[in-house]
Amino acid sequence: MATIGTPDVRTRGLDAAYTPPTAARGDGVVAAYMGITAVVLALLMVFGLLMRASQAGVITIPANRFYQLLTAHGIGMVAISGLGGAGVMWFFLSRYVPLSRTILLANLACFLAGVVLVLGGIFVGGFAAGWTFLFPLPAHSLGVWGPGAAASYLAGVLLVGVGFLLLYLDTGRAIIRTYGSLGRALGWPQAFGKSAASAPPPTVVASTVVTIINVPAIAVGAVILTMSLVNAYAPAFRVNALLAKNLIYFFGHVFINSAIYMGVIGVYEILPAFTGRPWKSTRPFLLAWTATMLMVVAVYPHHLFMDYANPRWANVLGQILSYTSGLPVLAVTAIATLANVYRSGMRWNVTSSLLFASVMGWSVGVIPAIVDGTIAINRVMHNTLWVPGHFHIYLLLGVVAMLFGFMYFLSSLHGGAEGALDRAAFWSYVVGGMAFAVVFLAAGAMSVPRRWAVHLAPWMGLDRLGAAFALVVVAAALVFAASFLRRVRATGG
């Protein structure tokens, strides 16, 4: 197999000893994944900007249209983070295990077909139950949308899930075929035993964790989607509302965390190419990933703290795990990132800057999230704008920065060079994104509720600030997206 390109280390900041990855069948599909990710991210950010501008009173969006945008923005961001993350994971994992290009394509086909159904349900049928589609709202719109719109949305999400399920079954198959078992791929012989063999590379460890946690998450999501679908046409078929919430938040929490875990593979693989310091699967690294894998599937009750009827032990466990679940991987990754970059003699460019910033965003965003994961504080923060405040830090400045960083890396392998506009976009994105999220946090501290189409006058000052920073972020994201598409197209990638 041939290498993808001959990187120019002087202009791209890559370490002189760096060898670009060998081209794999499927790299073109990965480029398509990332191209779609770039376009959809930019579009969904425009939706976000429109919503903030409307809340600020700068423009007027009717409430029904606002809630449609809200639904599309939410489900779209979850799904596209998954798609982009899958692109990053597949690109690097395919260097270690024999993945199926056909399955990669099948996932993309399911995704695109699902998106058509979802968008049809929302913007044609008027479906606006929020991305969380809490039961029984999909079938209980009070005449705003019909069962057809609900079915289109639910079936679309189900189809997207089927595609991802196929993908993770394939990664599981390929990992087991190469390493013998999932335990070996997690490095358990090295972490818990005395094996002297080399541990699996970080990409394989992270991919194995994502595979293990996402298969049950998607299966559980499919269960509640199917039950909601049946309920849309047969109202007599009812689901316990609390059970439905448990299923939805288990699915949603694990899936979006997996997007971060897939995106961070880009950090593990690409940052060392700049610093010349390889990322190693050390024992703490292996232990951290196993610990996070076990905890992340049990932490979701922190979404249910204000459901007092939920078993108290589950909510207490949710708080304890909120403090501990993400930290092993995050702490190991953050400290290793800092150590990898510290006095490395590296040169910064947009790729390395975005990847470094993504770990910063992930780390910083976890702080207000853990604060909100405290039941006593959640009582006055839950479903205020504090919540989008913290998740926009670790999604916008975390996983999305990872995805854009990977796009710059990918296009540089194909020979594209970045310019001053790209660098300006980086600073605009990081500074504007942080300010945008901090405005959310400030509004949350003022008790402004989330998901309100119309805001009261005292809240609008912060809304206007938020809209202004959103404009900066959207402009930067448009530059990132256009730059990637232009460079990949120009080089025939």
Partner 1 sequence: MEQRIAVLVSTVLGVLLLGVFAAVARSAGRSGSAEEIAAGAARWRRAVLWGLVGVFVPTIAFSLTRTPYPSAGQTAAVVVQATGHQWTWEVAPDTVPARELVEIRVTGADVNHGLGVYDLNDRLITQAQAMPGYTNVIRHTFATPGTYRILCLEYCGLGHHTMVSKLVVSAAR
User: What is the sign, positive or negative, of the torsion defined by CA atoms of 248, 250, 251, 256?
Assistant: positive
User: Of 152, 211, 325, 363, which one interacts with partner 1 (CB under 8 A)?
Assistant: 363
Interface of this chain with partner 1, residues 452 to 471, rule: CB under 8 A = 452-454, 458
* Pairwise CA distance, residues 456 & 398, whole Å: 31
Nearer to partner 1, 50 or 70 (CB): 70
Nearer to partner 1, 116 or 427 (CB): 427
**Least distance CB 413 / partner 1 (angstroms):** 22
Nearer to partner 1, 245 or 392 (CB): 245
CA within 13 Å, CB half, 289:
35
Residue 332 is a binding residue for partner 1 (CB under 8 A): yes
> Could you tell me if 361 and 396 are in contact, meaning their C-beta atoms sit under 8 angstroms apart?
yes
Between the alpha carbon of residue 259 and those of residues 214, 224, 398, 399, 418, the distances in Å are 10, 21, 10, 7, 26
Would you give the DSSP letter of residue 300?
A: G
* Pairwise CA distance, residues 104 & 102, whole Å: 5
Interface of this chain with partner 1, residues 391 to 430, rule: CB under 8 A = none
Nearer to partner 1, 343 or 492 (CB): 343
Q: The tokens of 206 are what? A: 């992270």
Residue 298 is a binding residue for partner 1 (CB under 8 A): no
Nearer to partner 1, 100 or 352 (CB): 352
Closest C-alpha among 392, 367, 371 to residue 380: 371
Maximum distance among all Cα pairs of the chain, rounded to whole angstroms: 67
Binding span for partner 1 by CB under 8 A among 36-44, 92-100, 133-141, 410-418: 133-141
Interface of this chain with partner 1, residues 21 to 80, rule: CB under 8 A = 63-64, 67, 70
Show the 3-state SS of 249-287. Answer: HHHHHHHHHHHHHHHHHHHHHHHHHHHCCCCCCCHHHHH
Q: How far is CA 411 from the centre of its chain?
A: 21
Residue 93 is a binding residue for partner 1 (CB under 8 A): no
Interface of this chain with partner 1, residues 374 to 393, rule: CB under 8 A = 374-377, 379-384, 386
Residue 18 is a binding residue for partner 1 (CB under 8 A): no
Nearer to partner 1, 124 or 490 (CB): 124
User: Of 46, 298, 435, 445, which one interacts with partner 1 (CB under 8 A)?
Assistant: 445
Amino acid at 92: F
> Could you tell me if 43 and 51 are in contact, meaning their C-beta atoms sit under 8 angstroms apart?
no
Binding span for partner 1 by CB under 8 A among 114-122, 195-203, 236-244, 408-416: 236-244
Residue 320 is a binding residue for partner 1 (CB under 8 A): yes
Residue 342 is a binding residue for partner 1 (CB under 8 A): yes
Residue 16 is a binding residue for partner 1 (CB under 8 A): no
Please state, as a whole number, how many other Cβ atoms lie within 10 Å of the Cβ of residue 230. 17
User: Of 142, 196, 197, 457, which one interacts with partner 1 (CB under 8 A)?
Assistant: 142
Tell me the site size for partner 1, rule CB under 8 A.
79
Amino acid at 372: D
